[in-house]
Amino acid sequence: MTLPLYNPIRVVENAGFADILSNGRFILGLGSGYRPYEFEGMGIPFDERRDIQEEALEIVLSALHSRQVKHEGKYFNLDVSGDYEIFPASIQTPHVPLYLAAGTDRSIGVAAHHGCGLMLSTLPAFDKVAIQTEFYRTALNDTPEKWRGNPAYGQIDQARWVYVAESDAKAKEESAAGLVHHIKNFMAKNAAGYLGSVSEKDQGAELDYDELAQTTLLHGSPDTVIRRLQELQEMTGITSLVLHYPPYYGIDNTLKSLRLFAEEVIPAFRIEAAA
């Protein structure tokens, strides 16, 4: 959820409800947002989004822990106290796993300070992700004790473009055009400056499939994807993976890739976990 666009009390209430509906399997992910038009449409100042998020995050954490909140701040004035409490409570305790999407030193530091798990985007190359995760782990040393009970504390969730095919060449043939189109379209939607500041890479280089395959993607044959994912895990210590599929591959290719990932890639990591 783009936290600055929501009332933080409603976020906590909805998280509790979703956790009940899912029988204790809900994970709450929050972020500051990066599309100006979303903020303009709701009359919220885009340039203040990180300040809004940081104030809202304090409220979310207080509400998750105490079920009551009395807050007077720059952006929110809220009072749930006395005979009233935030309802419903989640099944998971002390609350649902809470992650914060981050890509700058400031936002990664906020995630660590508040004991949030870290969510990282698809775009930065492996070596950049390694720097980000090291920064996060170092910052965790200063997390106040009261925030360390988050079930997601210290966890790192990595989003990656993933495409599995019968061979590396087949993966490129089936995915390259769609992936490049997706990135161009994405960066044209008022996101280029934000993504550039996060990745610190030349934006032209981001559109070269062969370079991306070597630095950023999990694309190729099952063996290649297994090897690349092992490299990413060793470099960064990620604890979970979000598979990102741009909507340009076609349904048949996407389903094939998902099937190959499930049948050929996942078992390799189940064996590692069991060992």
pTM for the whole structure: 0.89
The Cα 50–Cα 40 span in angstroms is 15
The pLDDT of residue 208 is 87
How open is the CA angle 171-172-176, to the nearest 5 degrees? 120
79 backbone φψ class: left, alpha, beta (φ>0; ψ -120 to 50): beta
Q: What letter does residue 61 receive in the DSSP assignment? A: H
Report whether pLDDT(196) > 60. Answer: no
Sign, CA dihedral 30-234-165-260, equals negative
- What are the pLDDT digits (tens) for 166-182? 999 999 999 999 998 88
Q: Is the pLDDT of residue 199 over 70?
A: no
pLDDT for residue 241 is more than 90: yes
Average pLDDT score over the chain: 91
What is the CATH class of 3-157?
alpha beta
In order of 38, 147, 180, 221, the CA distances from 76 in angstroms are: 19, 21, 41, 50
Residue type (1 letter), 134: E
Region 16-26 average pLDDT? 98
Give the end-to-end CA distance of the chain in Å, rounded to a whole number.
36
Residues 6+ apart with CB under 8 A from 100: 29, 30, 31, 57, 107, 110, 111, 114, 116, 117, 118, 119
Angle between helices 8-21 and 49-66 (to 10 degrees): 50
Q: Would you list the domain boundaries of the chain?
A: 3-157, 160-274
Q: Judging by beta carbons within 10 Å of its beta carbon (0-12, 13-18, 19+), is residue 227 exposed, middle or buried? A: middle
